[in-house]
Every structure is written in structure tokens, then in C-alpha cells.
Amino acid sequence: MSGPVTATCSDGVLEVVLDRPKANAIDAATSRELGRVFADFRDDPGLRVAIFTGAGERFFSAGWDLGAAAGGEAFEADYGEGGFGGFPELPERNKPVICAVNGLAVGGGFEIAMAADLVVAADHAAFFLPETGLGIIPDAGAIRLPRILPRVVANEVLYAGRRLAADEALRWGLVNAVVPADRLMDEARALAGRIVASAPLAVEAVMAVDRETSARTLDEAFVHLRSGRLDAYERMLASEDADEGPRAFTEKRDPHWQGR
């Protein structure tokens, strides 16, 4: 695939690169293209995890393309099935996405990183939300960030545009690891490889449990987990892989996952 979005596959891992010089900003057409790529990822049984990054070394993504906005593209444009950035609101996505943040994650670019399941960052990366200084708000950021950061820190980022350097983002739990820029994709690929080595139905079940129970109390979450209504969890329990894992462990060999 050519154009502003390139996608390559290897060993169960999809790598998606956003390449829109100079700042990897995203207009509606690019977001819809990302949505198509991530929908194909969701639906392809041969793919287990995706890595999303930006081209170049300066910008992961500057977020919403303000040039397109100045040209008349509406703030509430059609960004595609998966919402802005292709995967953050993609229905029935039961596979992890890793963001490899190669530079500045600004506005919608930061919001995309917040929506990822795992994040690795180059040591020169930074994260900030400038929207209130532009007369708008970061919709997803206003919802997600106070659930991740301490409220007073989130408020300073949201209200006053505070920048978070990569090491501070690591300290607050926004990213999994910070590495030198030349090691960023190696780190992301190593993390993806560890996910691929896990049982696919088990990873799917963990994601489903989190999604289905995160808004419930602890007691309610356990009741729902054991209700028989959480399909991914029940499918995992009844799978051949659930037998294969303990058997491989006792036989001191690597498991052979079937995904069934």
C-alpha cells in the first residue's frame, strides 16, 4: 500500500506507518484509510498485533490537519469506522495495537497514543494537547487523560497545554518504555513478538474482560466474568489452547497455539 499510509505484515505483526510530511497530520481521508487498514487487521486471523508509528524523527503525529480545517474540513468530519486515527473507536477490535511514538505526539496524535494498548517512545518524544489554545477541545483527550493521569496533572495538560517529555510520560504510566530513537522499532517489535508468543484466544479474552468489566465494581466484574455471557472468555476456557498450555509446560516445550 502506498500513499500517506503504508502497511506491511511479518510473522503475525502488522506495521502501519503514517507518512504525511511535514508533521504527519491526519485529515479525514487519511483517517478513513487508517480505518480500512485497521479493520482489515481486525478481520485477518493471521495477524495478532499491530504497531503504529509515524515516518521521520520529528513527529509521531501532529493530530488533526489544521490545513484541511482551514480549507473547510469540519471538526466533526467522517473519520471512518475506527474514529480519528483508524483504531481508537474500531468496533470489536480484540487484538492489541502498539504505538511507537517517534517524536512529537500533538493533539489528536497524543489522543491516538492514549488509545493504544501499549506505547513505546523515543527518548526525544513529547506529548501535549494544544486544543484549548485553538478555541476547541481534545474530545478523546478530555475523556481518556483524567482516567490515566492524576487529575491535577491531566488538568494542566488539558487546560494549559503542559508538555510531557518522554521520561515524564513513563513516570506517569502513559508509556511502557522509553528508548533511544534508533532502538524504537526494535523495542516495539520485541514487545509485539512477546504478544505473538502468547495464546491468541487468551489475549483476546484479556481484552474482552477489560472492556466488559472496567466500568463495573469489583464484585460486579467477577459476577459478569462468571456469568457465561462473556463470549471471548468462554471461548478461551473451552479451547484446545487452554489444554495445550499446561501440557507444554509439563513437557518442557514451547506451546503450539492453534487459536481454537
Q: Are 129 and 108 in contact (CB under 8 A)?
A: no
Spot the catalytic one: 131, 187, 204, 212: 131
CA 199, CA 196: separation in Å to the nearest integer? 8
Partners of 10 in the beta sheet?
13
Q: Is 111 a catalytic residue?
A: yes
Nearest to 164 by CA among 100, 53, 172, 150: 172
Partners of 104 in the beta sheet?
59, 126
Q: Is 168 a catalytic residue?
A: no
Angle between helix axes 218-225 and 200-213 (nearest 10 degrees) is 140
CA 36, CA 44: separation in Å to the nearest integer? 12
Lookup: cell for 169: 510520560
CA 185, CA 99: separation in Å to the nearest integer? 10
CA 142, CA 66: separation in Å to the nearest integer? 19
Spot the catalytic one: 111, 187, 204, 212: 111
Nearest to 142 by CA among 166, 114, 175: 114
Nearest to 60 by CA among 96, 77, 80, 85: 85
Distance of CA 174 to CAs 106, 163, 164, 177, 206, Å?
A: 14, 13, 10, 9, 20
- Helix count and strand count (H, E) for the chain: 11, 10
Lookup: cell for 2: 502506498
User: Annotated catalytic sites, by residue?
Assistant: 111, 131
